[in-house]
Amino acid sequence: MPGKLSDNSESFDPFDKERQLRSQASTWQTADTISADHNDIPVIDLSTYLKTNSKESLENVATQLRHACENVGFFTIIGHGVAPSIIDTQFSMLKLFHALPIADKKSIQMDSPQWPIGGVGYLPFKNRKLPSRDTGNRNEAFLIKCDHNTHMHDNQWLDETLLPGFRAASETYADAMLSLGKRLLPIFARALDMPADFFDQAFFDPLFRLRMTHYPSADIATEKDEFGIAPHVDTSFCTLLIQDRPGLSIYSEQRKTWIDVPMLEDAFIVNTGELLRQWSNDRFLSVKHFVHTNKSGVSRYSIPFFFNANSDYKMHCIPSCCSDKNPAKYPAISYSESQAVAQGE
C-alpha cells in the first residue's frame, strides 16, 4: 500500500509545475562548466546481467544503479546489447534526413494544423519547444512517439521516395531501445528495494519518444544565453542518449557545479527524469542539464530515447519510498496528468 499522502499532495498542478520549472531554468547560471572526474558519472556494465539474467548479477547492477540515481542522476551503460549496426544505421539515416532541403523537412513540421497528433514530426532550427524557453534552441530535430494510443503509423513520416529506408531504420532503432528499456526495469525495481517485476504492469504498453537531433556548428557569434538545448529537466522515467560527439553538461549535486559529460564509444548516457523522481517520492534524482552551442566546426548529432510508463497508468508512490514518517508528496497520477504539459500535449 502506498504511504500516507502529505497535506499538499492532492494539489499537484502540472501547469504550475511547468511554470515554476521554466522560471527556475532562467536563473540557472551555466556560464562555467568543468571537466568531469572519472568518478563523476558512474559507468555500469550490463553485459553479465544481460547474458546470465542471474539474481547475483541483477543485485550487483541494481546496487550500482541505486548509487547513481540517488547521488548523480546520470550514469553511462556499456555492455547493453544493442547491435552497433543498428546504432550506425540510425546515425547515417539521421544525417541524411537533416541534409534534406528545408522544404522537405517542413512538409512534416511538428504541430501542423493538418496533423491530429501533437509533438511529432520536424522541429525547426532555433525552435522554442522541448524545452519551451524564451531563447531558441540551436538545433533541429525529428521526433516520433508511440504508446497504446499512438502507433507508429500515427507519426508524421517523410514520403518514402525522399529518403528510402528512413522509417524502417527508425522503427528498428526504436524497437531496440524499447527492448533495452524493458530490460532495465528489473534493475530499477531492485534498486528501489522492490520485487524485480514491480514495474511490469506499468510498462505493459509504455510511452516512448525518440528524438533525432542535429546541432549545426555555429559559424558566427551567437546571442547571449543561447544553447544547443536550453537548461531543463527531463519529464521521463529515464532517458537513454547516444551521441556522436560530446556537448552535454549536467549539474552535479555533489560538487555543486556544472560538469561536462564525457562520451564513451557505443555507450548510452542514462538519466532519471521527473516521472521517476515523483514516483520514488524524490528518492531518485531528476538533474538539470543542457547542451552547449556547438562551436566545434562540424555538425553534432544525438539520439535521446525518452522511456515512460503507460501514459494513463496511475502511479502511486513506490511502497519502499514512503511511510508514515516519510509520507507521499504527490498524488497517484499518470504521465499524461503530470508530465504531458511540458511536451505541449
Q: List all residues 6 or more positions away from 165 whose beta carbon is below 8 Å from its beta carbon.
A: 93
Tell me which residue of 263, 258, 270, 261 sits closest to 243, measured CA to CA. Answer: 263
Rounded Cα–Cα distance for residues 213 and 116 (Å): 23
Q: How far apart are CA 329 and CA 198, in angstroms?
A: 20
- Please give the full DSSP string across 91-155, using - where no structure is assigned: HHHHHHHHTS-HHHHHTTBTT-TT-SSTT-EEE-TT---SS--SSPBS-EEEEEEESSSS-GGGS
Mean pLDDT for 168-190 is 98
pLDDT at 9: 46
- The Cα 178–Cα 1 span in angstroms is 29
In the chain, the domains with their CATH numbers are 30-308 (2.60.120.330)
Instruction: List, for residues 286-343, the tens digit of each pLDDT value.
Output: 999 999 999 999 999 999 999 999 999 999 999 999 999 999 999 999 988 877 655 5
Task: Give residue 148's pLDDT.
Answer: 78
Any idea what DSSP says for residue 324? Answer: S
Q: What gap in Å lies between CA 217 and CA 215, rounded to an integer?
A: 6
Number of helices and strands (H, E) in the chain? Answer: 8, 13
Q: Whole-angstrom Cα distance, residue 333 to residue 147?
A: 17
Measured CA to CA, the distance from residue 282 to residue 30 in angstroms comes to 24
pLDDT at position 6 is 41
Segment 136-170, tens digit of pLDDT = 789 999 999 998 788 899 999 999 999 999 999 99
Per-residue pLDDT tens over the stretch 1-27: 333 334 344 556 666 766 666 666 666
Q: Give the Å distances, CA to CA, from 144 to 8, 27, 102, 118, 207.
A: 35, 31, 19, 10, 11
Place of cell 547474458: 51
pLDDT of residue 249: 96
Q: Is the full-model pTM beyond 0.85?
A: yes
- Across the range 99-116, mean pLDDT stands at 94
Side-chain-facing half-sphere of 63: CA atoms under 13 Å: 6
The average confidence (pLDDT) of the chain is: 90
